[in-house]
């Protein structure tokens, strides 16, 4: 069980990386590559950087083939999650994309008990529903964005799934090792999907692989800051925090991302009043979680503090 100082440090780190993740949709929209191309370069650069880190730090990374296959298999889910995430931002806008991602905690409230074979905590689905109500308000205020929102929700389901799996993996391996093999798995996934996409959608190789303008800078930021640093740290925090509490806090990603998006894209990200009221409900669900834990006297998952 964590002491109070460790709790505060863990949550400060979590909020910091959520702030960083709030910029991922913005970077994805600024990059001219296809969503698959963005994920390919992001995972390739991240895998190479992480390999350099584990070798430099002397971290154990030579694992049994079965373990590598398990971690790389989780990387397939991550690759699909990021692809649908960036696709949602392209189909609608960043605000709608991030709002759909905010349903992650709702799906986690069911996936986590299923994977870890534990009873469903009654307050987790309730708080998840509160977030979903916020999403419904967003949906009603932007009905014409249903396709982008649907893809974002699919991305949220994938995120909930791999986060729960990572919560089990981190008990056995270093967060750097896990992230490295997951990036390899995600990269290989894009290499399999890209030819299929080119055949069915009629895209050219240049749509996926040829960078223009500042694409290289944006991809580097996406890879090194948002993935090598923030994603691997997020995996590490799963030693201290439950998958649900992490994903519930990640619901704040839309708030951070939308503020940045409005500053950068201005009118393209202007939303109706329903959107902002829905966002307020998402924030409320995050703030109510530690209170619900305290009232339920639940100390089995992690020792929580008010955020």
List, for residues 135-180, the tens digit of each pLDDT value.
Answer: 667 656 554 567 888 898 899 999 999 999 988 888 888 899 999 9
pLDDT at 78: 95
Q: How many residues does the chain have?
A: 307
What are the residues whose beta carbons fall under 8 Å from the beta carbon of 95, sequence distance 6 or more? 138, 254, 257, 258, 261, 269, 271, 275
How much is the pLDDT for 297? 61
Domain map (residue ranges) of the chain? 27-295
pLDDT score of 107: 86
Task: Give the phi and the psi of residue 110 in degrees, each rounded to 5.
Answer: -105, -40
Per-residue pLDDT tens digits of the chain, which is 307 residues long:
456 677 778 888 888 888 888 778 778 878 999 889 999 999 999 999 999 999 999 888 889 999 999 999 999 999 999 999 888 878 877 767 777 777 787 788 889 888 888 888 778 788 878 877 776 676 565 545 678 888 988 999 999 999 999 888 888 888 999 999 999 999 999 999 999 888 887 778 888 899 999 999 999 999 999 999 998 988 888 888 877 778 777 767 766 766 776 676 665 545 667 777 877 787 787 677 767 776 766 554 443 332 2
- Asked if 71 and 87 touch (Cβ cutoff 8 Å), the reply is no
Q: Give the closest residue to 19 by CA, choosing from 161, 201, 226, 289.
A: 226
User: Mapped to the 3 state alphabet, what secondary structure does 24-39 carry?
Assistant: HHHHHHHCCCCHHHHH
Q: Which run of H or of E encompasses 41?
A: helix 35-57
Indicate whether this model's pTM tops 0.85. Answer: no
Closest CA to 7 of 307, 237, 305: 305
In sequence order, which residues have a C-beta less than 8 Å from that of residue 229 and are 6 or more positions away?
17, 20
DSSP strands (E only) in the chain: none
72 contacts 182 by C-beta, under 8 angstroms: yes
* pLDDT per position as a tens digit, 65-88: 999 999 999 999 999 999 998 888
- Quick one: pLDDT at residue 73? 95
CA torsion 279-74-38-255 (nearest 10°) is 10
Check residue 304 and give its pLDDT. Answer: 36
d(CA 101, CA 202): 28
Residue 212, φ and ψ in degrees, nearest 5 = -130, 155
If we measure between CA atoms, which residue out of 260, 288, 272, 298 comes closest to residue 30?
A: 260
Residue 103 to residue 131: CA distance in whole angstroms:
6
For residue 300, the 8-state DSSP code is S
């Amino acid at each position: 069980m964590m002491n109070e100082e460790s709790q505060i440090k863990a949550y400060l780190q979590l909020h910091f990386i959520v702030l960083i993740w709030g910029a991922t949709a913005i970077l994805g929209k600024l990059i001219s590559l296809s969503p698959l191309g963005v994920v390919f370069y992001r995972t390739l650069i991240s895998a190479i950087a992480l390999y350099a880190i584990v070798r430099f730090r002397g971290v154990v990374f030579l694992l049994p083939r079965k373990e590598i296959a398990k971690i790389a298999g989780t990387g397939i889910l991550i690759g699909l999650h990021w692809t649908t995430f960036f696709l949602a931002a392209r189909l609608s806008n960043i605000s709608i994309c991030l709002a759909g991602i905010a349903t992650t905690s709702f799906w986690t409230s069911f996936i986590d008990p299923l994977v870890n074979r534990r009873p469903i905590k009654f307050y987790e689905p309730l708080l998840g529903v509160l977030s979903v109500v916020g999403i419904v308000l967003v949906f009603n205020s932007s009905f014409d964005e249903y396709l982008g929102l649907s893809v974002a929700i699919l991305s949220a389901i994938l995120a909930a799934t791999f986060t729960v799996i990572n919560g089990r993996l981190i008990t056995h391996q270093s967060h750097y090792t896990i992230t490295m093999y997951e990036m390899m798995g995600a990269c290989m996934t894009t290499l399999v999907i890209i030819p299929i996409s080119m055949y069915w959608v009629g895209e050219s190789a240049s749509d996926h692989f040829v960078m223009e303008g500042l694409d290289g800078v944006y991809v580097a930021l996406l890879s090194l800051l948002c993935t090598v640093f923030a994603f691997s740290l997020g995996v590490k925090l799963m030693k201290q925090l439950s998958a649900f509490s992490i994903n519930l806090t990640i619901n704040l990603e839309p708030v951070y991302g939308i503020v940045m998006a409005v500053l950068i894209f201005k009118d393209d990200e202007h939303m109706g009043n329903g959107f902002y009221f829905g966002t307020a409900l998402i924030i409320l669900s995050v703030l109510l979680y530690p209170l619900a834990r305290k009232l339920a006297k639940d100390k089995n998952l992690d020792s929580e503090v008010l955020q």
